[in-house]
């Protein structure tokens, strides 16, 4: 029995497919490593699509906002302290302190997007928690946090929101 790399369900490797999410099971795979857009292998090459999208947004290319209209993303704050805090926040949420977070990115100086796997629950409470951590640990206030379905982004290039919170 091996854990499925997508959902974590323990599955017989001989069956070749997870009974819960239909992900292909390979003997050398497990859920042991956290995925990131920066680390690709043949086994998770479908994440390459997400890498292209994340880089595009990071460089300020056009993306869809909440109302479906497009606009250019804003640059990160010019204050070096503020920029450092934004980078530190991304590293914190992508690090071991938040194991459920797959990736995180500032799509503008006021929108922090956190990618997670969709487990069917509303992530607005988690988005509110992120707002609190941004304010208390990184002195970042205002704006909004959006929790997105990272698998949906990688598979269909759609930003499906799982939760949102407006930070005070």
Burial of 121 (0-12, 13-18, 19+ CB in 10 A): exposed
Q: Given this model, what pLDDT does residue 45 score?
A: 44
Burial of 91 (0-12, 13-18, 19+ CB in 10 A): exposed
Q: Given this model, what pLDDT does residue 15 score?
A: 75
For 105-114, how does the pLDDT look when each residue is reduced to its tens digit (9 = 90+)? 999 889 999 9
Which stretch of 59-68, 87-96, 124-133, 138-147 has the lowest confidence by average pLDDT?
59-68
Q: Given this model, what pLDDT does residue 83 score?
A: 85
Q: How many CA atoms lie within 13 A of 3 on its CB side?
A: 8
Element (DSSP H or E) covering residue 47: helix 47-58
Model pTM? 0.55
| DSSP string for residues in 84-98 | HHHHHHHHHHHSTT-
Q: How confident is the model at residue 8 (pLDDT cuts 50, 70, 90)?
A: low
The answer on pLDDT for 141 being more than 50 is yes
């Amino acid at each position: 029995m091996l854990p499925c790399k997508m959902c974590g369900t323990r599955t017989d490797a001989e069956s070749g497919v997870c009974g819960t999410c239909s992900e292909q099971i390979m003997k050398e795979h497990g859920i042991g490593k956290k995925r990131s857009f920066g680390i690709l292998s043949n086994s998770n090459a479908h994440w390459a699509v997400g890498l292209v999208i994340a880089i595009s947004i990071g460089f300020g290319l056009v993306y869809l906002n909440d109302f479906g209209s497009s606009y250019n993303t804003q640059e990160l704050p010019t204050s070096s302290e503020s920029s450092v805090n934004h980078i530190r926040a991304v590293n914190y949420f992508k690090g071991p302190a938040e194991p459920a977070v797959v990736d995180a990115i500032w799509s503008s100086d006021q929108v922090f997007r956190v990618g997670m796997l969709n487990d069917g629950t509303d992530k607005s409470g988690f988005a509110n928690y992120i707002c609190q951590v941004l304010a208390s640990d990184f002195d970042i206030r205002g704006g909004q946090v959006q929790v997105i379905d990272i698998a949906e982004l990688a598979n269909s290039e759609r930003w499906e929101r799982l939760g949102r919170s407006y930070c005070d």
